Amino acid sequence: MTKAEKIKEVTRNFYALIGESGYQAHDEGHGYWYVEPKGSTDNRNMFMVTRKFDVETSFCENAEVLKFADALETRLNEYIRMFNL
């Protein structure tokens, strides 16, 4: 499996994880995704995930979303190790 295929697979798993958990991601084309609960309009419920799958929660103020971000980061790190990225 090439590196591009591995990244594509981790990305697919990323979208599956957030979708199953009631979250959505917006790709603004700046090198990261904005992740927020589905239907949320409050920017304080949002965190970022970089293209290298680093989770950044600097501006998120919602405890439930922060808890999900921590769990997502753990799962993404497992995928990264599994695919040797």
Structure confidence at residue 65 (pLDDT): 96
Residue 55: the pLDDT is 97
The label of the residue with tokens 């997502």 reads 72
Q: What is the pLDDT of residue 28?
A: 80
| SS3 state at 32 | strand
Helical pair 63-82 and 3-20, crossing angle rounded to 10 deg? 150
Indicate if the pLDDT at residue 2 is higher than 80: yes
CA dihedral over 34, 49, 17, 10, signed as positive or negative: positive
Q: How much is the pLDDT for 77?
A: 95
Residues 6+ apart with CB under 8 A from 2: none
pLDDT of 85 strictly over 80: no
Q: pLDDT by residue (tens digit) across 4-43?
A: 999 999 999 999 999 999 999 999 888 899 999 999 888 8
Task: Give the separation between CA 84 and CA 65, rounded to whole angstroms.
Answer: 28
State yes or no: pLDDT of 66 exceeds 90: yes
- Average pLDDT over all residues of the chain: 93
Q: Please name which of 4, 6, 3, 27 lies closest in space to residue 15, comparing C-alpha atoms.
A: 27
